A and B are shown apart, each in its own frame.
Chain A
Amino acid sequence: MSGRKIGEVILDLKNISLSFGGVKALQDISFDVLEHEVRAIIGPNGAGKSSMLNVINGVYRPQHGEIILRGEHYANMNSYEAAKAGLARTFQNIALFKGMSVLDNIMTGRNLKMKANILQQAFWLGPAQREELEHRLKVEEIIDFLEIQHIRKTPVGRLPYGLQKRVDLARALAMEPQILLLDEPMAGMNVEEKQDMCRFILDVNDQFGTTVVLIEHDMGVVMDISDRVVVLDYGKKIGDGTPDEVRANPDVISAYLGASH
């Protein structure tokens, strides 16, 4: 962890409440994320962790609350705005574009930065061609970074799970995000794959200064790599602080292990 300085608050969530009919997925949750930090969201199944990420990048619209991103206030985000504002994410159940090659999947992440219009593309004119090359170079850097050169041209549907997760991360990185939301990046991986993934996440954080918000179930990983942890249970926030503080929090212990009555 060298060279990286934790900065000001970049993302602030205030009193977020989200319900689906009678189900209260999130109740009055507030927490903040500092620039360049690794922030973990943990909690038992159904605690509302993925809903929280979905609120942050505009897939769900919260009924109450406010999202403050770099000083800008939003009642709710929409996905397009969120992407433009530099939020990228990966998905719990890999959401890659199955019919496309690894390269095309990652190139899709560059979409917002590509400006050639439809006629220039149809005739493969100068701007379209140049743009395609420029962004290919960028994408190749990411491919190198994540060590997936050998599967560049493979359709993602044919890849094993661990590699698909890596391509999912690559696609998010291609957006050059300021905040990276990772939804269980290590779920279903073996130890070696987990180690690789941890290394990539820390490298991204360290080299590019990307702020990381991640959901993870592997406590060893969470306590190891995150700077601060927020704990959710049944849609409520029950703990927030450094890994050591959270570990010592009695509410957190009872949520995970059950309280003694």
Chain B
Amino acid sequence: MFYRENGQFKTSYKSDQQIFAIPQDRWAILALIVFAFVGIPLLVDEYLFRAILIPFLILSLAALGVNILVGYCGQITLGAGAFMAVGAYAAYNFLIRISGMPALGAILLGGLTAAAVGIVFGIPSLRVRGLYLAVATLAAQFFWDWAFLRVKWFTNDSSSGSVSVADIELFDWTINTPTDKYLFCLGILVIFSLMAKNLVRGSIGRQWMAIRDMDVAATVIGIRPMYAKLTAFAVSSFYVGVAGALWGMVHLGSWEPAAFSLDRSFQLLFMVIIGGMGAIAGSFFGAAFIVILPIFLNQMLPLVGGLFGLEVSIALVSHVEIMIFGALIVFFLIVEPHGIARLWSTGREKLRLWPFPH
């Protein structure tokens, strides 16, 4: 009822080109951001921050990066976990090897290092595509898994192979409580999401999508595939690298290479596929789905079992969790291959016209 555009006329192209062209959307998003910054810290306890909200924010950021590459530029990647690792270890090395390096600087430099590595591993995309590219990016995953395990320099010669950092500081603000960490990650995510949206609605985003949809036609228009693909790899790896640095230095505090294994790469790819390829919002939906659902099932299954008088063992819960999770992924792929983001936008289209069918 309130979602109406009656009487809202745009009188300039500038107002037509806004990110949220409908005022209701703009207010809703603003309210959501304010709530996330002010409301949630008042309402939520430490466990929720640690188990759900902080992982959700950081993985959203990584999924956003993967979405730029896979969803917008159409290049498949199975190496996202490796680029997270590159971001995390690079940030760690910048932090400990350069004295006086601010934490935020180290995180951004970690992202830039990941971007450079991403460009190198993106070069095969100029010749191969699809499954073959997937295999080429898989090589990145194996290479960096090996490098961080075996090359002692990366881990500052730590005997156990794991590295750890002290609480990081942003100017005078020491980030040590879960609330601080949450706010720090949220701030970064909001800024990076805005940047991503600006990129995909501008000329570079159109180049990526043109390469994804029809590369011959794109070349004929004067888009250079090399530039478009490698910028997509660079921007994507930058996002994923920053997410990796946050995951290691803010969320975990101390970590080993297993934190960024192939499982992580698959997880990020699933987030993008389920959330919605080629939609910024899809990255958030996908991350929420994958982070929250296992925890939700974990809590719900014993309760549901209890209703029927069944004793549900922990082992059973984890098995059933995986089964339901798999079934849901298949269900989504069949019902809506464009992901939750498409369901969301279809729903919104309907709501604009409701109660009329068209």
Q: Which A residues are within 8 Å of any B CB, using their own CB? A: 57-59, 79-80, 82-84, 88-89, 91, 95-100, 104, 107-112, 114, 116, 118, 121-124, 128-129, 131-133, 136-137, 140, 171, 175
Interface string of B1-45 (1 = CB under 8 A from A): 000000000000110010000000000000000000000000000
Asked whether, in the complex, the Cβ of B13 is within 8 Å of the Cβ of A136, the reply is: yes
Distance, CA A118 to CA B209, complexed state (A): 15
Asked whether, in the complex, the Cβ of A108 is within 8 Å of the Cβ of B219, the reply is: no
12 CB contacts below 8 A, A to B, read A57-B220, A59-B216, A83-B222, A95-B214, A96-B214, A97-B210, A104-B209, A108-B206, A111-B210, A124-B202, A133-B13, A137-B13
Number of cross-chain contacts by CB at 8 Å: 100
Asked whether, in the complex, the Cβ of A80 is within 8 Å of the Cβ of B235, the reply is: no
Nearest B residue to A85, CB-CB: B222
Please report whether the interface of chain B is mostly helix, strand, loop or mixed according to DSSP.
helix
Nearest B residue to A125, CB-CB: B198
Distance, CA A143 to CA B180, complexed state (A): 50
Interface string of B205-239 (1 = CB under 8 A from A): 01101101110111111111000000100010000
Asked whether, in the complex, the Cβ of A175 is within 8 Å of the Cβ of B222, the reply is: yes
Residues from chain A with a CB closer than 8 A to the CB of B222 are 79-80, 83-84, 111-112, 175
Tell me, yes or no, whether B204 is within 8 Å of chain A by CB: yes
Distance, CA A260 to CA B179, complexed state (A): 90
Asked whether, in the complex, the Cβ of A100 is within 8 Å of the Cβ of B209, the reply is: yes
Tell me, yes or no, whether B310 is within 8 Å of chain A by CB: no
- Given A132-B17, A133-B13, 12 other A-B residues pairs in contact with their CB atoms under 8 A: A59-B216, A79-B220, A83-B222, A96-B213, A99-B212, A108-B207, A114-B203, A116-B203, A118-B235, A122-B198, A122-B199, A136-B17
Q: Which B residues are within 8 Å of any A CB, using their own CB? A: 13-14, 17, 195, 198-199, 202-204, 206-207, 209-210, 212-214, 216-224, 231, 235, 278
- What's the least CB distance linking A40 to chain B, in Å? 20
Nearest B residue to A98, CB-CB: B213
Nearest B residue to A124, CB-CB: B198
Asked whether, in the complex, the Cβ of B198 is within 8 Å of the Cβ of A108, the reply is: no
Nearest B residue to A79, CB-CB: B219
CB < 8 Å neighbour of B206 from A59, A84, A104, A116: A104
Asked whether, in the complex, the Cβ of A80 is within 8 Å of the Cβ of B219, the reply is: yes
Asked whether, in the complex, the Cβ of A133 is within 8 Å of the Cβ of B14, the reply is: yes
Nearest A residue to B72, CB-CB: A99
- What's the least CB distance linking A167 to chain B, in Å? 12
Distance, CA A110 to CA B221, complexed state (A): 9
Distance, CA A99 to CA B214, complexed state (A): 10
Distance, CA A91 to CA B204, complexed state (A): 23
Asked whether, in the complex, the Cβ of B206 is within 8 Å of the Cβ of A175, the reply is: no
- What's the least CB distance linking B86 to chain A, in Å? 20
CB < 8 Å neighbour of B214 from A59, A98, A136: A98
- What's the least CB distance linking A35 to chain B, in Å? 21
Distance, CA A114 to CA B207, complexed state (A): 11
**A97-B209, A97-B217, A116-B203 given as contacts; is B223 within 8 A of A122 (CB)?**
no
Residues from chain A with a CB closer than 8 A to the CB of B195 are 122-123
Asked whether, in the complex, the Cβ of A80 is within 8 Å of the Cβ of B224, the reply is: yes
**A121-B198, A136-B13, A137-B13 given as contacts; is B210 within 8 A of A108 (CB)?**
yes
